[in-house]
Amino acid sequence: SQELEQSPQSLIVQEGKNLTINCTSSKTLYGLYWYKQKYGEGLIFLMMLQKGGEEKSHEKITAKLDEKKQQSSLHITASQPSHAGIYLCGAEGAGGTSYGKLTFGQGTILTVHP
């Protein structure tokens, strides 16, 4: 089965600082999803990446998928307290019994101090 490893596990930054969260897969990624979760709540979809080298941005958040499709990064520019939460990467299985199966990394807890 596909294993996703996120780093760091937690991150504390001062408001205005940039930060990066990484997600590494044990297998080639067919589709990579980034979600944000507030404590005790559901997941909010941020972005989906499918092609090697693909990069997407939404407001101050940019996500990239490397050419080999085994690693993704999420970068936040000029962080704000509203960015605080748990960031989760999720991946689709590539085929066979894993096709369409969405599994997640363990999450990265982001704290932004004003």
Partner 1 sequence: EAGVAQSPRYKIIEKRQSVAFWCNPISGHATLYWYQQILGQGPKLLIQFQNNGVVDDSQLPKDRFSAERLKGVDSTLKIQPAKLEDSAVYLCASSFNRVTEAFFGQGTRLTVV
Burial class from Cβ neighbours inside 10 Å (0-12, 13-18, 19+) for residue 73 reads middle
CB of 65 to partner 1, least distance (A): 15
Nearer to partner 1, 13 or 48 (CB): 48
3-class SS of residue 76: strand
Nearer to partner 1, 59 or 80 (CB): 59
CB of 91 to partner 1, least distance (A): 11
CB of 26 to partner 1, least distance (A): 15
CB of 53 to partner 1, least distance (A): 20
Q: Assess contact for 24 and 71: CB atoms under 8 A.
A: yes
Nearer to partner 1, 4 or 19 (CB): 4
Which amino acid would we find at residue 10?
A: S
14: which residues sit within 8 A by CB, 6+ positions away? 112, 113
Nearer to partner 1, 91 or 112 (CB): 91
Task: Give the binding site for partner 1 (CB under 8 A).
Answer: 4, 6, 30-31, 33, 35, 40-45, 48, 88, 90, 92, 97, 99-107
State the Cα torsion 14-41-6-92 to the nearest 10°. -140
